[in-house]
Structure 1
Amino acid sequence: MLLGIFGIILSLVLLITLAYRGMPVIIAAPICSVVCVVFSGAPILASYTEVYMPALAGFVGDFFPVFLTGAIFGILMTVTGYAEAIARIVTGWIGSKGAIPATVITSALMTYGGISLFVVAFVMYPLAREMFRVANIPRRLIPGTIALGIFTFTMTALPGSPQVQNIIPAQHFATGSFAGAGVGITGAVLILGIGLLWLEYRRRSLKAKGEYFDSKESEKVSGGMADDGASAPVAVLAPPNNVVPFLPLATVFAVNFACTLFIFPRLDWSYLEEDTFGGIGLDDRAGLWAVLLGIVAAIGLVIVLNFRHRQELKTGFYEGAKRSLLPIFSTASEIGYGAVVASVAAFAVIRDSIFGMGANALVTSVVTVSITAGLTGSSSGGMTIALNALGGDLRAMAEDEGTSLEIMHRLTAMAAGGLDTLPHSGAVITLLIVCGLTHRQGYKDIGMVTLAIPTTVVALLVAGVTLLG
């Protein structure tokens, strides 16, 4: 048994190391699964075909529509010029000297509007770079500023977020995407407020040291991926006015909100109990379906508004479809790895230790998801691994204790968005590559706004909810 536990730990260390060194997770995850299986004494081939692959396929089956539509939506918002227009409009409201809050707010609007996180990163970098150049702010702050807008409060805290990190808990706790609204809004305000204060402090501190946009200390070591136009689609159309670019984002929220709170509850879903549909209930899929319909409706609106430019939109569909594949299969590979770990006998000892630590369901869920997200370097991957293994037990424990599943949904999602951005995180590495910076230049601020601040806020909210009941 000790050898099996050692194998789990060794495989995790190897996964972190390989990811940090740049090996794609889609390759690293099966390698690390083999390490875990070898030390546990389980059969390698059977574990791969009967455990790893079904788990991978299950995640793709559940969430591919969201990844696909989110990526397509992001590309369409780019080629229509809507994304750039939103950035220009927000900058006009705040002023060029407010490049940091303008970048955060623009990134947040796109993320909360349903555009895939990675697409937002590619879209925002050239826009943020120009704003920072005009305001003469050190470019090393660009990654942290974008990260605050896309990897934190809009991804996990704000109720109704269409990002997959807000959908996963709903699949396990029978909640909706607007679950725990009060706690989520409170957390979002704290994360945003403290994050902006930190970035402003850093701007003033670097300015006092004589560092500006073109300072040697802030120069890029290599060209950003968005610089050559190959990784960030160029806007080929121009929105007719300042209102139109915001309409698709508003559509995602409006449709999601209406379906979750008004439309779905009034429809007859009794047929879902049939074997044909897996004997599920509305609560098992409502969060996913509402978000999916919201994004599809927004894509439809973009098509209607730009129908005469069908060829450009067609190209956007193709590009978006391609962009959706690597993110979902990378995450799904981590899910497969987690399933292999959960299948070995040594994992039962770890699971029993977690439930034997004497904490309530909320604390157990938050701690478990935080650890797995940190180990895998992925909020969605870590949360899925933890909840696939322990979600049913956590839900039963919460119901026995009288703990609100809606609050547990919100804080579990927020917990996933903390330790997931350790230096080996694929999202962090991608963002730094996009911005053309190294960990030494850009990670300090990414770590503060996406790891230290969200983790602290979640700890405070968990303590507050526990004390106030």
Structure 2
Amino acid sequence: MGLLGLLVGLGLLVLFAFRGWSVLLLAPFAALVAALFGGEPLLANLTQVFMVNAAGFLAQFFPIFLLGAVFGKLMDDSGAVTSVAGFMAERLGERRVILAVVLAGALVTYGGVSLFVAFFVIVPMARSLFRAASIPRRLIPAAIVLGTSTFTMSALPGTPSIQNAIPMPFFGTTPFAAPGLGITASLIMLGAGLWWLHRAEAAARRAGEGYGDDADGLIEQAAADELVRERATTAREFDPAELQHGHRSDRPSPVLNAIAPLVVVVTVNLVMSLVVLPRLDVSYLAEQRFGETSLAAVAGVWSVAVALAAAIVTTIALNRARLPALRRTMDAGANASVLPAFSVASLVGFGAVVASLPAFTIVRDWVLAIEGGPLVSLAVATNILAALTGSASGGLTIALEALGPTYVELAARTGIELSLMHRVAVIGSGTLDILPHNGAVVSLLAICGLTHRDSYFDIVMVGIVTSLLALVAVIALGSAFGSF
């Protein structure tokens, strides 16, 4: 009955989340259903397991949600994201339209701008470029997914994405874990994705397929769609409803002012991770009032938080004249972080309840028995959970909350470096999460005015297939040569 309860609870979570129900309600309900089938005390599981672990996730990662959302909103309202997108379009658009869209998305998301901020700025640019080049608009979502939701989310060293931050407290790693393998994976994703998109473009030209017809008002409709909002806030770290608040500048930021904050994120993150924090005396962290923790457990989050804070200050300093409603903009950014953070925390609470049930030992033993060793089983676990939840961050956190300590022990026993574990886990979470019910996919298609039938196959090819190829390569190279 216990194992059946796990399956029923997870099934209810997936089914109703796909129908647009709030995860804030679904996750505790599904967790209690699983506990009920297992004959476990319901109130104890709710208050002592679910809530404690959800609160623990917020305590660790809410600063990144908060600072990331504020930074993204400032970049949007100052016209910086528009400026970066326009710069890429000007430099590459006439000759290499698809590459311009991909690189524009990659630049802003690797620089710390929230995914949905990027969507709402880059889609209009992509529509204009694709129309001028007579490339079918059905390829726009795939080009944007390749640039924003693959290598810059899970593979590039130092990416400030929440997915790259989640393994750090479990493994004691930094955002730059396994940099050589991360760069290799990024090149595979980018190269294979661009090959597919150019192949699809060539096939469309041979068939005489043009751009197609656009509808008006799609972006505004998507931003106000409650179903899109519920799915989006589970998938990523920004509530799209807040894009309508604040005050967007009527003129774009100068391109150097727009790019500078993105450079600050990467540079400060690198310096904090590799230079500043390792030299600090943080023995005080062992005290009870600081949680009796260690630098390894907090360094990664500290690095990303400081980098985003520095980028916020840089954005305001360089673009103050284009932020006439600074308080409203920052309030909107702060508000945009709350629902996504609590949604993912609720998924964490659900995973903690499931992991605490006696029947979970069957699941754990099955995962650990997968042939190929710990790296393969870790990749399978994160893939499956990300696929079921439709969320890379939710699936990754559930997997590590349940199995993280076990993998740390396995790494010590087998000699696998934890930085390699980190990179495999993050890339694994960013593959099958892009299933049809993924909030980012649903939102992007709504913004573009397209359906799954129109564009989803190309999204699969550039978002799932390329990431799986990169994951296999990282596991193979890591198994042969270790982390590098």
TM-score by shorter chain over 0.5: yes
Provide the residue aligned with 2:231 in structure 1. Answer: none
Task: Read off the aligned partner of 2:324 and give its amino acid letter.
Answer: Q
- Corresponding residue of 2:219: 225
Q: Please give the alpha-carbon distance, in whole angstroms, between the structure 2 residues aligned to 1:132 and 1:274.
A: 58
1:4-403 alignment, distance < 5 Å = 4-215=2-213, 223-226=217-220, 232=243, 235-238=248-251, 241-308=254-321, 311-357=324-370, 359-403=372-416
Q: CA deviation at 1:49?
A: 2.1
Checking the alignment, whether the CA contact within 8 Å between 2:141 and 2:448 is kept in structure 1 is: yes
On the 8 A contact 1:122/1:434 being kept in 2, the answer is yes
User: How many angstroms apart in 2 are the aligned matches of 1:240 and 1:323?
Assistant: 22
Shift of 1:97: 4.1
- C-alpha deviation, 1:252, in angstroms: 0.4
Paired residue type of 1:174: G
Counterparts of 2:270 and 2:221, CA distance in 1: 37
Contact 2:80 2:253 in 1 (8 A): no
Q: How many percent identity over aligned positions?
A: 43
Partners of 1:113 and 1:468 lie apart in 2 by 30
Q: Report the Cα offset of residue 223 of structure 1.
A: 4.7
Q: Which moved more, 1:379-388 or 1:436-445?
A: 436-445
* Alpha carbons of structure 1 residues 241 and 174: separation in structure 2 relative to 1, 3 Å: same
For 1:263, give the aligned amino acid.
Answer: V
Give distance in 1, aligned partners of 2:5 and 2:179: 40
- State the TM-score, normalized to the length of structure 2: 0.90
Question: 1:90, 1:235 → 2: CA distance?
Answer: 21
Kept after mapping to 2: 8 A contact 1:255/1:293: yes
Q: Which amino acid aligns with 1:103?
A: V
Following superposition, the deviation at residue 123 of structure 1 comes to 2.6
Question: Counterpart amino acid of 1:412?
Answer: A
Shift of 1:29: 2.1
- Of 435, 446, 453, the residue aligned with 1:433 is 446
* Consecutive aligned runs of 4 or more in structure 1 exceeding 6 Å deviation: 227-230
Gaps of 5+ in 2: 225-240
TM-score, length basis structure 1: 0.93
Contact in 1 for aligned 2:253/2:322 (Cα 8 Å): no
What is the deviation of 1:159? 0.5
> Can you list the C-alpha shifts for 1:30-68, whole angstroms capped at 9, x where unaligned?
332233222212233332222222222221221111111
What secondary structure is seen at the aligned counterpart in 2 of 1:288? helix
Q: What amino acid maps onto 2:187 in structure 1?
A: V
Verify the 8 A CA contact 1:126 1:226 in the aligned structure 2.
no
Unaligned runs of 5+ in 1: none
Distance in structure 1 (CA, Å) of the matches to 2:40 and 2:170: 28
Tell whether 2:426 aligns with 1:409.
no
Counterparts of 1:431 and 1:61, CA distance in 2 = 30
Assess if the C-alpha contact under 8 Å between 2:112 and 2:160 holds in 1. yes
8 Å Cα contact 1:19-1:426 kept in structure 2 = no
**Shift in Å, 1:143:** 1.4
AA aligned to 1:385 is: I
Kept in 1, the 8 Å contact 2:385–2:396? The answer is yes
